Structure 1
């Protein structure tokens, strides 16, 4: 099926990313997304002033209209006080559960425009403070119970000792939760490059209830970080275990940078990656044109019962995996063939 031009979610004056959708008690579709002002660079602006918003549409395809800020700035004294990002909305029985990444730093106002760089000490501090948390509500309209503690912290001496982010939760029928997450580890000197941290890795944790406490299932990364880099996982329950789609950062598994892989697992710990891409960066739009997008990040699948109905991706108009070339970003919706 065709991706509708003008569908999804876009906001003038903001970078938009991380779309996660659920059908609310009002029968409408509610997207929880990240946004941050465009007077900041896309990267690392998201790590400094991102907030999580809710947008609404009568149909899954959209367009979604901004409704409210769900989580925003609440002070650097909180673990998630300065920036919130990576929303993933779930529901268990009568409770909505919003997983997200939060961070903070003690350095006051964010440098604007080109003054904010990857090397900026404000960003380096915020990056090291990224943690995964969750908030809950009995209604998609809130109010949301925001916790003063993250769900998943870092571990000293392990591969996930730098930060935790990009939550990919799957709440099981009994309320337990499998949680895949992105992380990095600090490197010991002497450094081979300017970075003080290792490559991106995925970890896995489990809790008897989605509110925690979470326990890591392994002391090693899920996939060999020397072989390839996977990012932005999304997972779901299958008839014989779990399914996952994730971004192939370097094109190691798919042969195409930024394409998305599919992996399966019977236990959530041991995963098998298919040897062909789940999808790439080319989108066929409703105007009949195929466009190669700059990114196809943060994939999210909307289900109707057991059926996958729509794929949501964060995308932009830039060149291949180059945030510096983009002028606009939005969350696109792609209806899926049954």
Structure 2
């Protein structure tokens, strides 16, 4: 009987452990087409080996897979568990990491994270080691950014801290959010922010909704009605958004499948999903062969160079399942940095639109202090065109080259370029003379990158029996006249009941359009609002009629 009891207890422990594993890990089936991606076809290929930092040591906490390691990478401390955080370069030339932490001896172990505090740490370089300079206040999953007027904001779940200086003092506050008749997907947490060219901001929330603010502090307005993430059964969190010299970029993590996805956008609102993994476990590799096998990588943040290229990714990493990180044990978490292949600077010299009839395409690849395109490139390895074809080894091949000072002009054959009406970036893949990955993106000269973004709320039926619709321009430039249409949606058919012209609107200007309707809808009617601009459908929103 005693033996049976012991075996039963052991079985229960195994089952409990399996439940914990299954609660945090599952095997996702990857699309078959991912097997055909070439080197550089997925964001994962951009992670580079890390130069050793400080001393390689075994005298530290951690599971077997992360010992020995370079503890000077990022920030870690045996007395604290660190999580999240991003780096800003200060006017002092130093690098400032805003990260959260909680005591390693907390009774709940890793599950103490709801009581975490945000700290300001500083280093002389982006890789660390970072040393804590001050405690800012309570908060979790911070992301810091600088507004156009020079002030700093540190976002935390359910609030923010604001300061005139990167060194504080910091004042706590709360954002205002206006969903604008759109469903808030999975709540407002784990937000990520990027500044647009005019100083306004785009934000993506955990659930994949896109929000805009005039300055990064004023109320956030939701402009999407569904998530922009891949249409797969993922458990998404930890989005990060950034804008480089060509396009907007977004990475989101499927925490259950431990696979992240990479997306690109022309305007930060409308997104394309690129194939392949953005990152997976196993990417912490050093140039001396040291490999740190962290169990989970979360809270990715991107550090950019003076050209806004992504040059480093920072992660919150943990050496085991979160539930197994107990108080005063050998497990914990930290923030680490991993360098990224930043890509080359390149420009398409042809101004005409590239299509299936284009004979040649001229591209200039720029020289940089550590890169000589005249001597460093394996020219015959290059292929160029739309990312959708280049990622799979297709695209245009080289027909000739010529120097342009220190830069290199490459002429590609125009066939197989892959560009379509919805293309907004070109991609280059190849190798340097040492066989290392060479990549780059370029803008398409014929594409308008800054356009009006007109967005409507749901119609309101006023006391006079007219429909009123609020329309706002969330773009960075003024709009011209546009068309508004309202349709009554039921199971049998869709009937147009009202239409009107939308006058030109300046950025963040809004107007109310009043329309007589051919059929007064019932109180619970489903209405579809559509905006057409320059003969293209800009937006449609479906929802229940609102009564004034």
Fold conserved between structures, TM > 0.5: yes
Name the residue aligned to 1:176: 200
Q: Residue 191 of structure 2: SS of its match in structure 1?
A: strand
Contact 2:175 2:220 in 1 (8 A): no
Which one is further off, 29-38 or 93-102?
93-102
Once the two structures are overlaid, the 10-residue window that deviates more, 210-219 or 241-250, is 241-250
CA shift for structure 1 position 154: 7.8
Residue of structure 1 in register with 2:100 after alignment: 34
Shift of 1:36: 1.1
Question: Is the alpha carbon distance of 1:323 and 1:337 closer, same or farther for their aligned partners in structure 2, counting shifts above 3 Å?
Answer: same
Q: Rate the CA distance shift 1:219–1:42 in 2: closer, same or farther, 3 A.
A: farther
1:336 alignment partner in structure 2: 340
In the other structure, the counterpart of 1:18 is: 84
Q: Give the 3-state SS of the residue equivalent to 1:45 in structure 2.
A: helix
Q: Does structure 1 residue 68 correspond to structure 2 residue 134?
A: yes
Q: Name 1:217's counterpart in structure 2.
A: 223
Cα distance in 2 between the residues matched to 1:173 and 1:266:
12
Distance 1:95 1:57, change over 3 A: same
- 1:63 CA displacement: 0.6
CA distance in 2, matches of 1:137, 1:157: 32
What is the CA deviation profile of residues 125-171 of structure 1, one whole-angstrom value per residue up to 9, with x for unaligned ones? xxxxxx2x333222111112322x334478999344x6311111011
- Please tell me the root mean square deviation across aligned C-alpha atoms, in Å: 2.4
1:235 Cα deviation after fit: 0.7
Residue number in structure 2 paired with 1:297:
298
Q: Structure 2 vs 1, CA of residues 239 and 57 (structure 1 numbering), >3 Å: closer, same or farther?
A: closer
Deviations 1:171-217 (A, max 9, x none): 123221101011xxxxxxxxxxxxxxxxxx22221111211211111
CA distance in 2, matches of 1:134, 1:44: 22
Question: Take 1:276 and 1:163, find their aligned partners in 2: how far apart are those partners?
Answer: 27
Question: Contact 1:87 / 1:98 at 8 angstroms: preserved in 2?
Answer: no
1:100, 1:166 within 8 Å by CA — same for their partners in 2?
no
- Residue 65 of structure 1 and its aligned partner are, at CA, apart by 0.7
Q: Please state how far the C-alpha of 1:285 moved relative to its aligned partner.
A: 3.0
Contact between 1:153 and 1:163, CA under 8 Å: does it hold in 2?
no
> Relative CO higher for 1 or 2, CA cutoff 8 Å, sep ≥ 6?
1
Partner of residue 268, structure 2: 268
Note the alpha carbon deviations across 1:312-332, whole angstroms, 9 max, x for none: 1110111xxx21234111000
Flag the 1:8–1:168 CA change in 2: closer, same or farther, 3 A. Answer: same
DSSP-derived class of the 1:164 partner: coil
Q: Does 1:137 align with 2:163?
A: yes
Contact 2:178 2:220 in 1 (8 A): no
1:317 to 312, 319, 324: 319
Question: Which of 1 and 2 has greater Rg?
Answer: 2
Contact 2:263-2:272 at 8 Å conserved across structures? yes
Matches within 5 A, 1:230-249: 230-249=236-255
Aligned-partner Cα distance in 1 for 2:134–2:177:
27
Contact 1:166 1:181 in 2 (8 A): yes
Report the 3-state secondary structure (helix = DSSP H, G, I; strand = E; otherwise coil) of the residue aligned with 1:324: helix
CA pair 308-226 structure 1, distance change in 2 beyond 3 A? closer
SS at the partner of 1:69?
A: strand
Matches of 1:20 and 1:279 in 2, distance apart? 17
Following TM superposition, the consecutive aligned residue runs of length 4 or more in structure 1 with deviations greater than 6 angstroms are: 153-157
Contact map agreement 1:99 1:167 (CA 8 A) in 2: no
1: CA distance, partners of 2:287 / 2:133: 26
Q: Distance in 1 between matches of 2:79 and 2:180?
A: 38
Which segments of 5 or more consecutive residues in structure 1 lack a partner in the other structure?
73-83, 103-130, 183-200, 251-256
Shift of 1:96: 3.9
Secondary structure, aligned partner of 1:244: strand
What residue is the counterpart of 2:59 in the other structure?
none
Alignment partner of 1:36: what SS? strand
Asked if 1:150 is matched to 2:175, the reply is: yes
With normalisation by structure 1, the TM-score equals 0.72
Q: Which residue of 2 aligns with 1:229?
A: 235
Residue 94 (structure 1) shift: 5.3
- TM-score under structure 2 length normalisation: 0.46
After superposition, the C-alpha distances for 1:45-75 in whole angstroms (9 at most, x for unaligned) are 212x111101111111111111110123xxx
Aligned length: 268
1:100 deviates by 2.1
Distance 1:241 1:37 in 2: 40
Which structure 2 segments of 5+ residues have no match? 1-48, 54-69, 326-330, 343-548
